[in-house]
Amino acid sequence: MTSLNYKLFQRSLELIPGGVNSPVRAFKSVGGTPIFFKRGEGAYVWDVDNKSYIDYVGSWGPLILGHAHPAVIKNVQNKIKDGLTFGAPTEAEFEMAELLCKLVPSIEQVRLVSSGTEATMSAIRLARGYTGRNRIIKFEGCYHGHEDALLVKAGSGALTLGHPSSAGVSEEVSNGTVVLNYNDIEEAEKIFSKVGREIAAVIVEPIAGNMNLVAPRPKFLSALRELCTKYGSVLIFDEVMTGFRVGLDCAQGLYNIKPDLTTLGKVIGGGMPMAAFGGQREIMQFLAPVGPVYQAGTLSGNPIAVCAGLATLQMIQTPGFYKKLIDSTQKLIDGLSNIANKYKVPFSAQAIGGMFGLYFHRKIPSSYTEVTECDTESFNRFFHAMLEGGIYFAPSSFEAGFVSAAHSDIEISKTLQIAEKIFSTWEK
């Protein structure tokens, strides 16, 4: 009997490029038919064939409370009666701005947008307008959205499809982007010594999550901070993924580094399309309508998205929230590591906050090059076996995973049981 997932995918291929609206959803990296989901609740999702899965993707990070959290749903239902959008200021926008400035000390002013790409694109433009410079630095394997200047050796979907750069990006645009190796302080110091006064901004994922989870080495982020301060460049932390996912004070609080600008997304929208960028008042005042750098959006600060985000940000401030989240994530990766070691499967894992990385390699990677040395065939085999067992991990070895507050010991234990069945039969 042909599954409804398969039938829907075949129909989608006729009308949607690749059958999906975001490339990594196509299962190109792991093979097979993408899953079409119809419902989510807590730590679980159900596909169109009514099969349930324990979900470790969480819509790629936003659902830190789990699917359909009652407080978020109630807030949205109450607000939606008043209308979907106004294209005009609302009180909720101010409440969100006030809360973000309170929770993230480096942010003195903030602007709301509708996607992470929009946030990073706008932050780059703002940095160029503020400094009067054109060059930017990014790091190989880091993904900052699909804006032209940032699709140079990008991570995430671009790596999954085997194309580290994108067609359609002109040489004129890409020439303004300098790509360095993540975690390489010496390389950053060398480029700054040569062209430091031409560099408008350094944009970095303080914890990389789009080439799998790669943590910053000691002093890497502080070195970037020092270089940007010395040469008058803007340090941008792309916390679209890490913001409120690794802790209440985000990655910048975790590592005690103060960026000039921060981009946020995912968690702050509570599952709705919303993002933001903010930072020093002096820099933010360069934005229109008070400054010369233009940025706008019809649906920016959408009241329904803001409502979902406010409900989520209120919940994560509950005492003990992050301790439970961190404990659950650590139990998952410790359990998987122990099982793999028991059956002599080359495997390693790490977690930071509610994010985790799985690597079919005995060494935890610290750069894009080291990530590519992991065994993708073993990951793909593991992914499909776990999927068959009702466990949904990201369909790419280049993606971080996510645990939510809805994942209890029951879900973690079931995940480990399925993994043990798989690894116990692993061909050596």
Instruction: From 247, 274, 256, select the one nearest 353 (Cα to Cα).
Output: 247
Q: What is d(CA 182, CA 138) in angstroms, rounded to the nearest whole number?
A: 9
Residue 265's pLDDT is: 97
Cα 24 versus chain centre, distance = 13
Side chain identity at residue 211, one-letter code: M
Residue type, 221: L
CA gyration radius for the chain? 21
Determine whether 238 is an active site residue.
Answer: yes
CATH classification of the domain holding 79? 3.40.640.10
- 279 forms beta bridges with 109, 261
Q: Which of 56, 143, 322, 392 is catalytic?
A: 143
Q: What's the DSSP call for residue 293?
A: B
**pLDDT of amino acid 337:** 98
**Mind listing the pLDDT tens digit for each residue in 122-163?**
999 999 999 999 999 999 999 898 876 776 665 555 544 433
298: number of Cβ within 10 Å:
8
Tell the burial category of 338 from Cβ atoms under 10 Å away from its Cβ (0-12, 13-18, 19+).
exposed
For residues 223 and 383, what is the distance between their CA atoms, to the nearest angstrom?
A: 37
Instruction: Report yes or no on 341 lying in a domain.
Output: no
Q: Determine, yes or no, domain membership for 301.
A: yes
Q: What pLDDT score does 205 carry?
A: 97
Query: What does the pLDDT read at residue 152?
Result: 67
Q: Which residue has the tokens 């349930």?
A: 52
Asked if 183 and 207 touch (Cβ cutoff 8 Å), the reply is no
Cα gap 259→262, rounded to integer Å: 7
* Cβ contact 331:409 at 8 Å: yes
Q: How many CB atoms lie within 10 A of CB 194?
A: 11
Range of the domain at 163: 70-315
In a domain, 395, yes or no: no
**CB contact at 8 A, 398 and 391:** no
Q: Report if residue 335 sits inside a domain.
A: no
What pLDDT sits at residue 163? 39
What is the predicted pLDDT for the residue at 26? 87
Confirm if 147 and 260 have CB atoms less than 8 A apart: no
DSSP state of 89: -
- Give the pLDDT of residue 24: 87
In a domain, 309, yes or no: yes
Can you tell me the distance from the alpha carbon of 147 to that of 132, in angstroms, rounded to the nearest whole number?
20
Say what the pLDDT of residue 29 is: 87
Contacts of 323 (CB under 8 A, 6+ apart): none
Catalytic residue from among 79, 138, 153, 266: 266
Question: Is 176 contained in some domain?
Answer: yes
Whether residue 302 is contained in a domain is answered as yes
* Domain presence at residue 336: no
pLDDT of res. 245: 98
**Total number of domains constituting the chain:** 1
Q: Which two tokens stand for residue 352?
A: 């930071």
What residues of the chain score a pLDDT lower than 70? Answer: 1, 148, 151-166, 168-174, 427-428
Residue 157: the pLDDT is 52
224 three-state secondary structure: helix
- Identified catalytic residue from 55, 56, 130, 238: 238
**Cα–Cα distance for residue pair 17/23, rounded to 1 Å:** 9
User: Which two three-digit tokens encode residue 341?
Assistant: 């070691």
- pLDDT the model gives residue 161: 41
147 alpha-carbon distance from chain centroid? 16
